């Protein structure tokens, strides 16, 4: 292993830099991971990069291997894929997923790594954390066979939630977004795409993942009588107005939060986070999910890339970071 690594830090709201990072020698049971790829979870990381994590959530929003504190300086991220270069024999040379920030090499307990299946390419495995979030959201939404399901927001989590829901027999899934160019990703996933004005509505289940107040308002409009709207977006310190007059009460709608930090209640007695992550990694065997990776850049360019993605995300769904080996 190396004595030093390179890591991406948010050094002030809206400004990042690459820093040298001293590596501690591994203890018994630790592994050393050489990073191959990491993924930018754009919604959450844009809020972190911009300094928009509210003080009330500073403790709850800590990533598993975060260094520093909100708002800054902070080393944040949770979608790293790499190769084990030192550790227990059963993990030697294995490709693993770790909830670790953007860093060229790192040392973690072996219990923190998740083996990537041999038939899942390392570059696709960066989607694991977002797929775990989408999986938990679909569990919270509890769609049934034959349901009409609207997913609002065709970012990474929204696309993945729609893809999961589309596998339910008889389901009628629409993916709704204001950006018509997101239709390409929906088509690759085999899901009907709609702009807000053409969405069918009358949905039995609505999943909101746009990260915008207007998207949540649309989700309420698309919900049928006594439908459940599951909120997968996290707004940081943004105040979100809601139209709770009109037909909200007469249609007896329910808004339900979903957050990956806790398992969905219906699964909690039998599942744990490790089992859920294992399922997410197995689901990544489907090559259609490569359509969600819409950009890639070298690790050393990350300060500028993160600033650009925060300021003007454009058509980005998932941006992948590549590490030179």
Interval 113-132: pLDDT, tens:
999 999 999 999 999 999 99
Q: Is the pLDDT reported for residue 41 higher than 90?
A: no
Q: Which long-range contacts (CB under 8 A, 24 or more apart) does 281-287 make?
A: 281/97, 281/114, 281/115, 281/116, 281/117, 281/120, 281/125, 281/128, 282/117, 282/120, 283/131, 283/135, 283/164, 284/117, 284/120, 284/124, 284/125, 284/127, 284/128, 284/131, 285/117, 285/119, 285/120, 287/124
Kindly give the pairing relationship between strand 80-86 and strand 30-40.
Answer: antiparallel
Q: What is the pLDDT of residue 1?
A: 73
The domain locations on the chain are 4-124+284-322, 133-257
Q: Model-level pTM greater than 0.85?
A: yes
Evaluate whether the domain defined by 133-257 bears CATH number 3.40.50.720.
Answer: yes
Nearest to 35 by CA among 11, 5, 64, 65: 5
Nearest to 321 by CA among 116, 197, 304, 261: 304
Q: What is the pLDDT of residue 312?
A: 85
Q: Is the pLDDT reported for residue 18 higher than 90?
A: yes
- Domain spanning 4-124+284-322, CATH class: alpha beta
Q: What is the pLDDT of residue 178?
A: 96
Q: What is the pLDDT of residues 54-79, one digit of tens each?
A: 999 999 999 999 999 999 999 999 99
Mean pLDDT of 226-247: 91
Contact 222, 175 (CB under 8 A): no
- Token output for 125: 């495995």
Q: What is the pLDDT of residue 325?
A: 59
Mean pLDDT of 147-176: 98
Q: Is the pLDDT reported for residue 95 higher than 70?
A: yes
Mean pLDDT of 17-45: 95
Mean pLDDT of 99-103: 98
- Calculate what percentage of the chain has a pLDDT beyond 90: 91
Q: How far is CA 268 from CA 44, 165, 195, 264, in A?
A: 25, 20, 35, 6
Q: What is the pLDDT of residue 201?
A: 87
């Amino acid at each position: 292993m190396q004595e030093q690594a390179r890591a991406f830090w948010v050094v002030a709201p809206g400004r990042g830099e690459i820093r040298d990072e001293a590596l501690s020698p591994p203890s018994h049971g630790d592994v050393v991971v050489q990073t191959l790829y990491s993924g930018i979870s754009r919604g959450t990381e844009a809020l972190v990069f911009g300094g928009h994590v509210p003080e009330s959530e500073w403790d709850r929003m800590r990533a598993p291997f975060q260094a520093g504190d909100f708002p800054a300086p902070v080393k944040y991220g949770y979608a790293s894929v790499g190769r084990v270069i030192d550790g227990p024999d059963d993990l030697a040379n294995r490709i693993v997923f770790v909830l670790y920030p953007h860093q060229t090499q790192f040392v973690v307990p072996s219990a923190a790594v998740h083996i990537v299946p041999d038939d899942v390419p390392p570059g696709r495995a960066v989607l694991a954390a977002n797929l775990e979030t989408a999986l938990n959201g679909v569990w919270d939404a509890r769609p049934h066979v034959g349901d009409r399901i609207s997913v609002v927001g065709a970012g990474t989590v929204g696309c993945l939630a729609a893809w999961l829901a589309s596998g339910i027999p008889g389901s009628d899934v629409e993916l709704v977004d204001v950006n018509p160019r997101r239709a390409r990703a929906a088509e690759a996933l085999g899901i009907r795409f709609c702009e807000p004005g053409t969405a069918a509505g009358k949905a039995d289940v609505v999943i909101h993942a746009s990260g915008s107040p207007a998207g949540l308002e649309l989700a309420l409009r698309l919900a049928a009588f006594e439908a459940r709207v599951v909120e997968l977006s996290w707004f940081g310190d943004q105040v979100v107005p809601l139209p709770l007059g009109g037909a909200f009460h007469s249609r007896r709608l329910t808004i339900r939060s979903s957050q990956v930090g806790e398992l969905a209640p219906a699964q909690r007695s039998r599942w744990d986070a490790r089992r859920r992550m294992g399922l997410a990694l197995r689901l990544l065997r489907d090559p259609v999910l490569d359509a969600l990776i819409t950009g890639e850049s070298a690790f050393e360019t990350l300060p500028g890339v993160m600033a650009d993605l925060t300021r003007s995300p454009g058509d980005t769904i998932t941006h992948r970071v590549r590490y030179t080996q």
